[in-house]
Amino acid sequence: METNDTLKIGVVGFSRNQFDQQDAAQKLKQLITQIIENQEASNIELVSGLTNMGVPRLAYLLADELGLITVGFSAKQALRVRSGVYPVQKQIIVGQKFGDESDEFIQYIDVLVRVGGGRQSRHETELFKQLHADKDLSQILFEEEVEWFGKN
């Protein structure tokens, strides 16, 4: 963690809504509350993909409920999606199209939570594993699958 002791929890997953949202919300809540146990909420950033749908939206709603700082980390493309952006407290925009921000996002966070997700979420999870290969991943990487109802 940084010297200012802010814990940055990255959340990735499906960015469309065709998945078991109830299951995803339940798993997110369980994982996030477990991670932040014994931490001061004002020193915790929940960092996700900025869009107001899918797992990022569920993560931000939970963060607001828990009093965490919300951070949207995405490319400029997120500012043009139909669903709009979630009203986060802090935006970090890197690059033009989705995926351009992946490397910097992984550098920015301390912990990664993946709930389902497609190619980009799984790619970012792999980047996180490579970056932290020398650490005990069971303490900083949490992955859960949820049912996808859309087309692959």
Question: What CATH number has the domain bearing residue 88?
Answer: 3.40.50.450
Domain assignment present for residue 151? The answer is no
How many domains are there within the chain? 1
- List residues bridging with 142 in a β-sheet: 113
**Mean pLDDT across 61-81:** 93
Domain assignment present for residue 75? The answer is yes
- CA 131 → CA 85, 109, 137, distances in Å? 28, 11, 11
Could you read off the pLDDT of 112-151 as tens digits, one per residue?
999 999 999 999 999 999 999 999 999 999 999 999 987 7
pLDDT at res. 71 = 98
Domain assignment present for residue 136? The answer is yes
Range of the domain at 23: 7-144
Domain assignment present for residue 34? The answer is yes
- CB environment 109-130: b (16+ within 10 A), e (fewer): bbbbbbbbbbeebeebbebbee
The pTM of this model reads 0.93
With 50 as the cut, is the pLDDT of residue 11 above it? Answer: yes
Domain assignment present for residue 150? The answer is no
Domain assignment present for residue 1? The answer is no
Q: How confident is the model at residue 4 (pLDDT cuts 50, 70, 90)?
A: low
pLDDT at res. 152 = 60
Domain assignment present for residue 122? The answer is yes
